[in-house]
C-alpha cells in the first residue's frame, strides 16, 4: 500500500510540560479514504489534528502527510492540504466572491483559475444570486458548504474537517456529507472529526482516541462486530468510559 | 392545573441589515408542570429567541406568554426570581473561580450553596475538586456543569437550557441527560433545546422547530408513529454510487443517507416488499440489501421540512 498512503503516522507524541496530550499514536490513511477521527472532549483529537496540519510541532515520532515529512516539510504539507475548522473561519465582512478570491490568492491560484473556480462554485452551490452577499448574513448551512468548497479550492490531496456539521438541519447535514462523499470519490482523502455517531458510520474507517491514545481503529461494521453492539454510539461509549484523564 | 409554561401566538422579528428575519412565527406551546420538554431544531430555528422571551430578556412583537402563571411582560421581575437559565454561550465570569462564580449567583438570589446543596450536589461534586480554578480555565464539560450549578443555585421552578449538549461528546451528553432526569424528579420543569435529533427520544414531549415555526408537538414515540409512509433501508457495497442511482430512479421520492444505510421512500408509498425490491434491483450494485424499517425522529423531521 506504500505510495497509496495519504497519511502515515508512527508513534506520534505531543507533550505539554508533563502532560502527554497525544501519546505515541500510530495509524495510516489511504488515498481517497474517508477517515473518521473520534474521541471524547479532551482525548487529544484537536492536538493530533493540529500536528498533522503542520500547525503544532510534535514532541517525537514520525509522520508523512500528503507525501511530505511532518518534521522537515511542514510548509509543503500546508500547501497540499485543506482545512475547515468547526468555527466559521471565512471573513464575515467580505462577500462570498471576495473570500474565494482571497483564499485563492493565498493558495497561489492564477486570476484565471480563481475566476473559473468562483463561477463553478457559485453555480454548484446555487449561490449565483448571493455572490455579493457578506458571508456574515448567510445561514449556517450555507456558510459550512462555502467553507468546505473554499477548503477544497486548491484541490488539496487531503482535507481536514473539524466537526463540520454542528448545528445544521438534517437535510443540509446530508447535503454536506454528499459533498464529502463526492470529494472522496474524486480522490481527495477526507479526515473528519464529529460528535454525531450516525455520521461516524459514513466513514470508511474510524479511529477512537481515549486519553491521548488510539484505542480502536477499523471500519464501522468491524468495530460494531468487535464490541458486539448495534451502533457506533455504543462502541464509543464503551471505549470512552475507560478514560482515566480527569477532565478539568 | 395551569401549565408551567404557556405560549400563545408569539411572533418576533429582527432587522438583520436590510433584511427582516422572522425569528418566531406564531408560536404556541404549553408545557406541563414537571415535564421535560425539548425544542428540537437546527441553528436558526428560533429556539434561542423563544428562551429569551420566556426568561424576560426580550419582548415579543405580539402574542402572550406566561411562566409559572406569571406574565413575561407584567411580572418579569417575579419570573426572574423563579427561573433558571443556562444560555448557549458560556456566560459566567471567566476571571472568577468556580467557587466565586457560584457564591456570586447565590448572593444575587439571596441564598447560599449550603441552603441548596441537596439540589446541586450530584452536579457540583464533579467540579468541586477544581473549586479554586478560574472558570475560564475549565474544559467545556466542566464549564457546562458549573453553568448548570449556577442556574440551579436558587432552586428554580422552571429551568431553561439552551443547547447544553452542543459540541459535547456522546458520553458526556448521556451523563448530562441523566442529570436532567434527576432534576425532573426533584420537581423542576425543564425546557431544553438541542440540534441533536437523537436526543429528542429522551424528552417527555418535543416541539420540532424549523425557521421560526413549530412543525409538530408530540411525544417522541407519537412523532415517529405519525410517519405514515413506508420507509426502506437500502445498503450496498458502494454507498455513494447507490445513493446517486437511487435518486436517479423515477419511482424514488426521497433517499437520505443514514450512516451505513440509505432511507428511501417510494413515490406512491410502496409497501409491498416484492414491488420495492423489483424497483431497486434495476440498479447495478453488489451486496444489495433492503428491508422495511421504522422511522426515526430525524426521518420525521425531514419529512416535515418537505411539507
- Secondary structure string (H, E, C) spanning B17-52: CCEEEEEEEEEEEEECCCCEEEEECCCCCCHHHHHH
Q: For residue B45, which residues of chain A lie inside 8 Å, CB to CB?
A: 169
pTM across the whole model: 0.90
pLDDT of residue A177: 92
CB within 8 Å: A178 and B260: no
- The distance from CA A81 to its chain's CA centroid, rounded to whole angstroms, is 10
Mean pLDDT of all residues belonging to chain B = 94
CB within 8 Å: A185 and B171: no
> With an 8 Å Cβ cutoff, is A240 touching chain B?
yes
| Closest chain A residue to B174, measured at CA | A237
pLDDT of residue A63: 97
Q: What is the DSSP letter of B157?
A: S
DSSP helix/strand/coil, A193: strand
Cell numbers standing for residue B195: 440540534
Q: What is the DSSP letter of B283?
A: S
> With an 8 Å Cβ cutoff, is A219 touching chain B?
no
Mean pLDDT value of segment A77-95: 92
CB within 8 Å: B16 and A137: yes
CB within 8 Å: A236 and B171: yes
Closest-CA distance, A63 to chain B, in angstroms, reads 27
CB within 8 Å: A172 and B42: yes
> With an 8 Å Cβ cutoff, is A166 touching chain B?
yes
DSSP helix/strand/coil, B159: strand
ipTM of the complex: 0.85
- The distance from CA A69 to its chain's CA centroid, rounded to whole angstroms, is 19
Measured from the Cβ of residue B71, the count of other Cβ atoms closer than 10 Å reads: 15
Mean pLDDT value of segment B188-210: 95
| Closest chain A residue to B45, measured at CA | A169
Predicted confidence (pLDDT) at residue B7 exceeds the cutoff of 70: yes
CA distance A112 to A105: 11
Predicted confidence (pLDDT) at residue A4 exceeds the cutoff of 60: yes
Predicted confidence (pLDDT) at residue A1 exceeds the cutoff of 50: no
Among B133, B139, B260, select the one facing A41 at the smallest CB separation: B139
- 8 A C-beta contact, residue A159 and residue A35: no
Q: Helices A170-185 and B239-248 sit at what angle, rounded to 10 degrees? A: 120
Kindly state the percentage of chain A with pLDDT values over 90. 79
Q: What is the DSSP letter of A125?
A: T
The pair phi, psi for residue B218, each rounded to 5°, is -170, 175
Cell numbers standing for residue A84: 475547515
Most confident range (mean pLDDT) of A61-75, A130-144, A163-177, B116-130 is A61-75
Confidence of residue A246 (pLDDT cuts 50, 70, 90): low
CA distance B225 to A46: 40
CB pairs under 8 A between A and B: 114
Mean pLDDT value of segment B131-157: 91
Among A166, A171, A199, select the one facing B167 at the smallest CB separation: A166
Of A133, A123, A124, give the one whose Cα is nearest residue A99: A133
Amino acid at each position: 500500500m506504500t505510495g497509496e498512503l495519504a497519511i502515515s503516522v508512527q508513534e506520534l507524541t505531543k507533550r505539554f510540560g508533563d502532560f502527554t496530550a497525544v501519546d505515541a499514536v500510530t495509524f495510516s490513511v489511504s488515498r481517497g479514504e474517508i477517515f473518521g477521527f473520534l474521541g471524547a472532549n479532551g482525548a487529544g483529537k484537536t492536538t493530533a489534528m493540529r500536528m498533522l496540519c503542520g500547525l503544532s510541532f510534535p514532541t517525537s515520532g514520525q509522520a508523512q502527510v500528503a507525501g511530505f515529512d511532518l518534521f522537515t516539510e511542514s510548509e509543503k504539507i500546508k500547501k497540499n492540504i485543506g482545512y475547515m475548522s468547526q468555527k466559521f473561519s471565512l471573513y464575515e465582512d467580505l462577500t462570498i466572491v471576495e473570500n474565494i478570491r482571497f483564499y485563492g490568492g493565498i493558495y497561489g491560484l492564477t486570476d484565471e483559475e480563481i475566476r473559473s473556480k468562483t463561477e463553478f462554485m457559485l453555480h454548484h452551490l446555487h449561490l449565483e444570486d448571493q455572490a455579493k452577499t457578506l458571508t456574515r448574513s448567510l445561514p449556517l448551512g450555507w456558510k459550512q458548504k462555502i467553507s468546505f468548497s473554499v477548503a477544497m479550492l486548491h484541490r488539496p490531496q487531503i482535507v481536514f474537517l473539524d466537526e463540520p456539521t454542528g448545528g445544521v438541519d438534517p437535510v443540509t447535514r446530508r447535503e454536506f456529507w454528499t459533498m464529502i462523499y463526492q470529494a472522496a470519490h474524486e480522490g481527495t482523502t477526507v479526515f473528519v472529526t464529529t460528535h454525531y455517531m450516525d455520521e461516524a458510520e459514513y466513514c470508511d474507517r474510524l479511529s477512537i482516541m481515549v486519553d491521548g491514545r488510539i484505542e480502536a481503529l477499523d471500519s464501522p461494521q468491524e468495530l460494531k462486530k468487535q464490541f458486539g453492539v448495534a451502533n457506533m454510539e455504543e462502541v464509543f461509549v464503551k471505549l470512552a468510559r475507560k478514560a482515566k484523564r480527569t477532565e478539568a | 392545573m395551569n401549565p408551567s409554561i404557556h405560549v400563545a401566538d408569539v411572533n418576533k422579528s429582527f432587522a438583520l441589515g436590510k433584511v427582516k428575519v422572522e425569528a418566531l412565527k406564531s408560536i404556541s406551546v404549553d408545557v406541563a408542570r414537571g415535564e421535560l420538554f425539548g425544542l428540537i431544531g437546527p441553528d436558526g430555528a428560533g429556539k434561542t429567541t423563544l428562551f429569551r422571551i420566556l426568561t424576560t430578556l426580550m419582548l415579543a412583537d405580539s402574542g402572550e406568554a406566561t411562566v409559572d402563571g406569571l406574565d413575561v411582560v407584567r411580572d418579569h421581575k417575579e419570573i426572574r426570581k423563579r427561573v433558571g437559565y443556562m444560555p448557549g454561550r458560556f456566560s459566567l465570569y471567566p476571571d472568577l473561580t468556580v467557587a466565586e462564580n457560584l457564591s456570586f449567583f447565590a448572593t444575587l438570589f439571596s441564598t447560599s450553596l449550603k441552603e441548596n446543596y441537596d439540589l446541586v450536589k450530584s452536579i457540583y461534586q464533579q467540579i468541586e475538586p477544581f473549586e479554586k480554578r478560574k472558570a475560564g480555565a475549565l474544559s467545556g464539560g466542566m464549564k457546562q456543569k458549573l453553568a448548570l450549578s449556577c442556574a440551579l443555585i436558587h432552586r428554580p421552578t422552571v429551568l431553561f437550557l439552551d443547547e447544553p449538549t452542543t459540541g459535547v461528546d456522546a458520553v458526556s451528553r448521556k451523563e448530562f441527560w441523566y442529570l436532567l432526569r434527576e432534576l425532573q424528579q426533584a420537581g423542576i420543569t425543564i425546557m431544553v433545546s438541542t440540534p441533536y435529533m437523537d436526543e429528542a427520544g429522551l424528552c417527555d414531549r418535543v416541539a420540532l422547530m424549523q425557521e421560526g415555526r413549530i412543525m409538530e408537538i408530540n411525544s417522541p414515540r407519537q412523532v415517529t408513529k405519525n410517519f405514515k409512509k413506508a420507509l426502506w433501508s437500502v445498503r450496498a457495497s458502494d454507498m455513494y454510487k447507490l445513493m446517486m442511482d437511487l435518486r436517479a430512479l423515477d419511482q424514488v421520492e426521497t433517499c437520505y443517507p443514514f450512516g451505513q444505510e440509505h432511507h428511501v421512500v417510494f413515490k406512491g408509498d410502496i409497501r409491498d416488499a416484492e414491488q420495492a425490491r423489483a424497483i431497486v434491483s434495476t440498479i447495478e450494485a453488489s451486496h444489495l440489501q433492503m428491508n422495511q424499517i421504522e422511522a426515526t425522529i430525524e426521518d420525521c423531521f425531514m419529512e416535515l421540512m418537505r411539507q
